[in-house]
Structure 1
Amino acid sequence: MATNRATKSGFAAEAQRKVNAKYSEELAHESLEWIMNITGDNINTAGDMDNFYEVLKDGQLLCKLVNCIKPSIVKKVNNSQMAFKCMENINAFLEAAKELGVPAQETFQTVDLWERQNLNSVVICLQSLGRKAGNYGKPSIGPKEAEKNERIFSEEKLKAGQTIIGLQMGSNKGANQSGINFGNTRHM
């Protein structure tokens, strides 16, 4: 657990301060409110890091959350407070979140929550899961996901587009080779 780690110093402490500075209490509060709404559990929804960590650290509430979104997605939730069992819960949540559609880059590592290394990444994961919950008939949080907007062009339109030189290509108007004397040395 986080209390067993030595305190960081030097560059490690500076790096940890930068990671902690990204944490948003408003988003954490919104995430906890959403979890309380989905699970029906009465939890403390204060967004400060200490409360956020204490509410989620054993992974039981996270497993209950994904089971409320899609029943039986996590088969076994460990009720033990042993470190290994708690980390198993967190890992089971992460696997379920990926299965529910949370992109891998928006998930976190187990130690980010269990050892309190990066709670901001936990908030990002919950916000992403909150967007995906709408696909399963549950209340969602955060911005609405974009819908697919597929365009179909005719062959004629595609060929017409090939004749246009885009502005990214640049221009050579007025260019010539006067004044260029590569390899030609000055004659005396």
Structure 2
Amino acid sequence: MANYRAAKSGLARDSQIKIDNAFNVEEARKCLQWISIMIDEDFPVEDTEDKVTMRDCFYRILKDGLVLCKLINVLLPDDRRIDFSKKSFQPTNMPAFVAARERERIGIFLNKVDEYGVPNSASFQTDYLYERTNLVQVCTCIRALGIEAQSRPDYNGPHVWPKKSEENRRTFTEEQLQAGQQVISLQYGTNKGASQTGMSFGKSRKIID
């Protein structure tokens, strides 16, 4: 579908160039290699440092949503897995149906990612992938999914992502809280050391009879 759109111009073109330039080749390759291991499926990943070539590779592998659905499916518990017998996953010779089903599959992946616990800020819109308008955000989502998966006790895949940050809740006693209220923060200002010693303003007033 992206091939049928008119080329962007003006500010839209400048914005798209900035997004494309932010595409990280190593991050994209890492995402594809992790997916390949997780779904136990080999697909050709370009061994290149060229952003255009890697973007094309990344888009070609993930564009129809099937690989992404396979990925999230191996991470989900049995009672929440995807039903691949649905019409969205059935082959069709109708071009209009092909596009619709590919979009549906991307949507299914995004819904399952949300259920899995990936924050909305790390997710992406269907057009970001299908129309290849923001593949950077697609990488961000896959990375966030990997980090979330690694934090689960039932995860048995490779640990290729940074460890998820853990909550470090602090608890204070009532005595500590009251003691803190007695301290005046320097953000409120201080008059410590203030003095007018030696200060004078103008000459002293003289009274002449």
- Match in the other structure for 2:184: 165
Instruction: Give the one of 156, 173, 179 matched to 1:138.
Output: 156
1:40 corresponding residue in structure 2:
40
SS at 1:163 equivalent: coil
Correspondences of 1:5-154 after superposition (within 5 Å): 5-46=5-46, 48-70=54-76, 71=78, 72-76=80-84, 78-80=89-91, 82-134=98-150, 135=152, 136-139=154-157, 140-154=159-173
| TM-fit CA distance, 1:175 | 8.7
1:74-108 CA distance string (max 9 Å, x none) = 23451437111001100100011111110001000
Match of 2:207 in 1: none
Instruction: Give the alignment's TM-score, normalised by structure 2.
Output: 0.78
Instruction: Give the letter for the 2:10 counterpart.
Output: G
Report what 1:179 is aligned to. none
Q: Distance in 1 between matches of 2:21 and 2:74?
A: 32
Deviations 1:28-57 (A, max 9, x none): 100001001100010122371000000000
For structure 2, which runs of at least 5 residues remain unmatched after alignment?
49-53, 93-97, 197-209
- Give the alignment's TM-score, normalised by structure 1: 0.86
Counting matched residue pairs gives: 178
Q: Secondary structure at the match of 1:90?
A: helix
Judging changes above 3 Å, is the alpha-carbon distance between structure 1 residues 128 and 16 closer, same or farther for their aligned structure 2 residues? same
Aligned-pair Cα RMSD in Å: 2.1
Distance 1:113 1:160 in 2: 54
C-alpha distance in structure 1 between counterparts of 2:189 and 2:117, whole Å: 41
Which entry has the higher C-alpha Rg, 1 or 2?
A: 2
Q: Cα gap change, 1:122/1:159 in structure 2, threshold over 3 Å: closer, same or farther?
A: same
Q: Which runs of 5+ in 1 are unaligned?
A: 177-188
Report % sequence identity: 38
Give me the whole-angstrom Cα distance separating, in 2, the residues matched to 1:93 and 1:142. 20
